Structure 1
Amino acid sequence: MNEGCTFYFVRHGETYFNHYRRIQGWSNTPLRSEGAEDVRRSGRGLADVKFDAVYTSDLSRTVQTANIILEENKHAEDLTIKMMPEFREVFFGSFEGADVDDAWQTIIKEMDYPSIPEMFALSSIPERMNATKKADPFNDAEDFMTFWSRVEQGMIKLIDKHRDTGHKVLVVAHGNTIRYLLNNLVADLVDPEPLLNASVSVANYHDGAYHLERYNEVRHFKDIEKID
């Protein structure tokens, strides 16, 4: 077996739109102080990991998150963040900034489900994304193939650069981006749960396949050690 490479996917910290339960795709709000502290705790738990490269989306909440993680890392002196628009969150079109529950109420009408829980239980991720585009009065929301095409291109770039190097690669992105990406790349990961803010998911790529090591992990969070 070759050396492969390992990807550490970290979701950004909690933002104001997350806190207010507003749809946040390409729209941008900064991390709350509580969100930044969770990222710092996550970074402390990853402090001993020697990353060889760091990538983020081009939205500021992921860049802010990556900078905090690197501040806590013991081996980050020579690392430079590379922003990649391929790793943006799903674009929700005219639903951007809307109340989460209000937006889903509109979308379930398009999908002809009686309730939001039933929609999530009985429909697939691509079906929900395609219905979101149809429910958007401006038709600007991304359907699944539009989203997948750009994110897949981002991963192809990373694989082309890091395959068979043994590198550990930090990718700070978004909840849906990471979740949908791993759902499609990891064969035995089916309908994964939504990701927590500042969580880490680890996947190793070798011999042409992705192998999940951790998903939605927050047990590594580490508080500052108190000195008596």
Structure 2
Amino acid sequence: MTTTNLILVRHGQTEFNKHSRLQGLTDSPLTEAGVKAAEKVGHGLVDVPIVKAYTSDSDRAVATAELILKTAHEDIPLIKESFLREYHFGDLEGRKFDQIFMDVVRRYGLKNARSFWDGPTFLRKVINGFHDLDATKQAESYDEITQRIQKGLAQILADPDVQGKNILLVSHSLLLSTLVYQIAPEQIPKTLLKNASVSILGATDGKLELKALNLLDFKDIQKYL
């Protein structure tokens, strides 16, 4: 059996991230800190052989992926994949996260956020809450975003060129958190994945396992591969 390692990277900090605004299909540029963090990921991966690199087609993810590959001296093409796009928030795009989150909590009839986080279903509730609050009905349900992820990932892993190798996937907080949540729901932090963090999944015979989560220090990254 061979294991394909999926190196998952959330894009670097953006202006919307800096001001805690929901950012799905809406784009905003990387901050200076976001650029430096992406370059740090590249330095961390400099000794990791990567055979293929995939990114969301959103500008912030593409910019992050390009910085990583340039810094890591990886001379491989960058493949843009629409299935790696962030969750679509509909008319909630650009609004303050704290405000919308409390709207979701109240929608479930809860008086405070603490009880909302209890149990392993919190991310499903968050996503379905966004879906219900969106007046335009464009926001995805939990089932819709998981189906999008599973279909796209299956196509990538079916490629014989990636079998038993390392591949890079640059995407977004909610999408990558949802991917990990399907494998290890109890391990997803309540604040989800951090900007320019690295998480690693191993794919063996169609089964995924979580090897590393939310790494910001990459000096020992080889031990997870």
Q: Is the 8 A contact 2:157 2:163 kept in 1?
A: no
Distance 1:200-1:162 versus aligned 2 partners, 3 A rule: farther
Q: Is the 8 A contact 1:4 1:164 kept in 2?
A: no
Q: Is the 8 A contact 1:4 1:163 kept in 2?
A: no
In the alignment, which of 89, 93, 96 is matched to residue 92 of structure 1?
Answer: 89
Other-structure match for 1:119: 116
Other-structure match for 2:181: 183
Offset of residue 140 of structure 1? 2.1
Mapped partners of 1:59, 1:15: distance in 2:
12
Q: What's the TM-score, normalizing by structure 1?
A: 0.89
1:63-96 CA distance string (max 9 Å, x none): 000000001113x12x111111111111111110
Other-structure match for 2:35: 36
Offset of residue 206 of structure 1? 1.1
Other-structure match for 1:52: 51
Rg comparison, structure with higher value: 1
Mapped partners of 1:61, 1:120: distance in 2:
29
Distance 1:221-1:141 versus aligned 2 partners, 3 A rule: farther
1:199-221 CA distance string (max 9 Å, x none): 11111111332122211111117
Offset of residue 128 of structure 1? 2.1
Distance 1:86-1:205 versus aligned 2 partners, 3 A rule: same
Alignment gaps of 5+ in structure 2: 221-225
Other-structure match for 1:225: none
Written as runs of structure 1 = structure 2, the 5 A alignment for 1:1-228 is 2-74=1-73, 76-77=74-75, 79-121=76-118, 123-162=121-160, 165-184=163-182, 186=183, 188-193=184-189, 194-220=192-218
Distance 1:159-1:131 versus aligned 2 partners, 3 A rule: same
RMSD, matched Cα: 1.8
Mapped partners of 1:202, 1:18: distance in 2:
23
Output the amino acid matched with 1:205: A
Alignment gaps of 5+ in structure 1: 223-228
Q: Which structure 1 residue ranges, 4+ long, deviate > 4 Å from structure 2?
A: none
Output the amino acid matched with 2:139: A
Q: Is the 8 A contact 1:38 1:198 kept in 2?
A: yes
Mapped partners of 2:186, 2:57: distance in 1:
28
Mapped partners of 2:22, 2:162: distance in 1:
38
Offset of residue 112 of structure 1? 1.1
Mapped partners of 1:130, 1:80: distance in 2:
36
Mapped partners of 1:69, 1:221: distance in 2:
15
Offset of residue 105 of structure 1? 2.2
1:127-182 CA distance string (max 9 Å, x none): 22122211222222111111111111110111111587222100000111111102
Mapped partners of 2:21, 2:206: distance in 1:
38
**When the two structures are aligned, how many residues end up with a matched partner?**
217
Output the amino acid matched with 1:105: M
Q: Is the 8 A contact 1:16 1:30 kept in 2?
A: yes
Q: What's the TM-score, normalizing by structure 2?
A: 0.90
Q: Is the 8 A contact 2:52 2:162 kept in 1?
A: no
